[in-house]
């Protein structure tokens, strides 16, 4: 437990550093970005927007850096991430509407890819040298093909030409969003193609990682013992897999941390209304408050996922629990 507490304090410090850097970066921009921005937003600028820009860059506020910083921290603490310049609405509101899409799409695909890859990797490792091995080049091929290219081809072939899957967007325009059957069904239908694309292009990593760990584990004495004990093959494989899966679980937690940042290209190709798409728009429009907000959310989720990985490992591998005592 002491070790976990120590880890936790480390994460708090990291989070603070990330927040501070996030605060300082726009203030270190050369020149006068405020004037540039105001120039861009010709005509339609409101006083609110000007204030948002000033807050973001810390210019024209007649406030010392320290006062700005404490103000920034205070606003963060109450959940105020500022106002988006281009969308004229609070960044937190904008994020709230984008994050669930990305988490849903990328989260489901990541977990699906992990499960599929780890399971097949375990079997490939155990039955290495069998005909199953031919799966490996197929999976690596899909991983090697650029993400967006694979997505485009899938869209063209299975969406536009064959009409097996609906395309563009996250749900059908003919249903109204809400927790009813039609909408959920539409969500699933529209999610299928992007999920398949992501799983196809990422499953090889999980598969090869697990397969290699399995092969290492099979050489271990405790697997030989499992055979010597007369255990059924399923149980022997479990003995090996239980240990082989540890690095994969650590990787999964890290992958989950990257879920929020989204698969920018996939969201673009499938026109999915997630964080990736939002980030692209924000960067193109130089919407600094929004970019800052997105970065902050990504940083925090990566940190949270890392913490989760630590806890997971702590639970799965008893050897890490006594590390602190050494």
| Binding site residues, other proteins, CB under 8 A | 219-222, 224-232, 235, 239, 242-243, 246, 316-319, 322
CA distances from 138 to 59, 88, 142 (A): 55, 47, 7
Q: Toward other proteins, which CB reaches closer, 96 or 229?
A: 229
d(CA 224, CA 214): 13
Q: Toward other proteins, which CB reaches closer, 192 or 317?
A: 317
d(CA 37, CA 114): 43
DSSP strand E in 92-201: where? none
Shortest distance in whole angstroms from residue 206 CB to other proteins? 20
Shortest distance in whole angstroms from residue 188 CB to other proteins? 37
Q: Which residues pair with 83 in a beta bridge?
A: 90
Q: Toward other proteins, which CB reaches closer, 43 or 318?
A: 318
Shortest distance in whole angstroms from residue 124 CB to other proteins? 17
d(CA 218, CA 290): 50
Q: Which residues contact 224 (CB under 8 A, 6 or more apart)?
A: none
Shortest distance in whole angstroms from residue 235 CB to other proteins? 7
Give the DSSP H/E element, type plus range, for residue 35.
helix 33-40
Angle between helices 288-316 and 91-126 (to 10 degrees): 40
Shortest distance in whole angstroms from residue 108 CB to other proteins? 28
Half-sphere exposure of 272 (CA within 13 A, CB side): 30
Q: Toward other proteins, which CB reaches closer, 62 or 322?
A: 322
Q: Toward other proteins, which CB reaches closer, 246 or 268?
A: 246
Q: Which two tokens stand for residue 152?
A: 């485009």
Shortest distance in whole angstroms from residue 232 CB to other proteins? 7
Q: Toward other proteins, which CB reaches closer, 291 or 309?
A: 309
Asked if 69 and 300 count as a contact pair (C-beta separation under 8 A), the reply is: no
Cβ atoms < 10 Å from Cβ of 67: 12
Q: Which two tokens stand for residue 42?
A: 């010709």
Q: Toward other proteins, which CB reaches closer, 245 or 296?
A: 245
Asked if 141 and 256 count as a contact pair (C-beta separation under 8 A), the reply is: no
Shortest distance in whole angstroms from residue 233 CB to other proteins? 8
Shortest distance in whole angstroms from residue 248 CB to other proteins? 14
Q: Toward other proteins, which CB reaches closer, 139 or 226?
A: 226
Q: Which residues contact 174 (CB under 8 A, 6 or more apart)?
A: none
Cβ atoms < 10 Å from Cβ of 266: 26
List phi, psi (to 5°) of 90. Answer: -55, 140
Shortest distance in whole angstroms from residue 241 CB to other proteins? 11
Q: Toward other proteins, which CB reaches closer, 131 or 163?
A: 131
């Amino acid at each position: 437990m002491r070790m976990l507490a120590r880890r936790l304090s480390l994460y708090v410090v990291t989070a603070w550093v990330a927040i501070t850097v996030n605060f300082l970066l726009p203030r270190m921009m050369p020149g006068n970005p405020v004037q540039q921005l105001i120039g861009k937003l010709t005509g339609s600028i409101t006083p609110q927007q000007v204030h948002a820009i000033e807050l973001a860059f810390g210019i024209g506020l007649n406030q010392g850096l320290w006062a700005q910083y404490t103000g920034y921290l205070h606003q963060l603490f109450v959940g105020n991430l500022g106002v988006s310049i281009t969308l004229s609405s609070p960044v937190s509101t904008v994020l709230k509407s984008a994050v669930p899409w990305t988490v849903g799409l990328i989260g489901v695909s990541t977990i699906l890819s992990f499960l599929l890859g780890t399971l097949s990797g375990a079997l490939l490792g155990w039955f290495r040298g069998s005909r199953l091995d031919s799966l490996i080049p197929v999976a690596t091929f899909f991983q090697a093909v650029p993400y967006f290219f694979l997505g485009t081809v899938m869209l063209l072939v299975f969406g536009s030409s064959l009409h097996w899957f609906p395309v563009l967007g996250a749900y059908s325009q003919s249903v109204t969003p809400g927790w009813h059957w039609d909408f959920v069904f539409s969500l699933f239908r529209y999610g299928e193609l992007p999920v398949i694309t992501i799983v196809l292009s990422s499953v090889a990593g999980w598969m090869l990682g697990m397969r290699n760990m399995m092969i290492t584990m099979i050489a271990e004495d405790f697997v030989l013992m499992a055979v010597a004990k007369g255990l059924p093959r399923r149980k022997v494989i479990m003995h090996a897999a239980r240990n082989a899966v540890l690095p994969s679980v650590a990787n999964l937690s890290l992958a989950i941390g990257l879920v929020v940042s989204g698969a920018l290209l996939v969201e673009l190709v499938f026109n999915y209304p997630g964080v990736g798409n939002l980030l692209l728009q924000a960067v193109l429009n130089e919407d600094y408050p929004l970019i800052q907000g997105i970065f902050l959310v990504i940083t925090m989720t990566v940190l949270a996922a890392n913490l989760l990985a630590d806890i997971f490992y702590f639970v799965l591998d008893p050897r890490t629990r006594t590390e602190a005592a050494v």
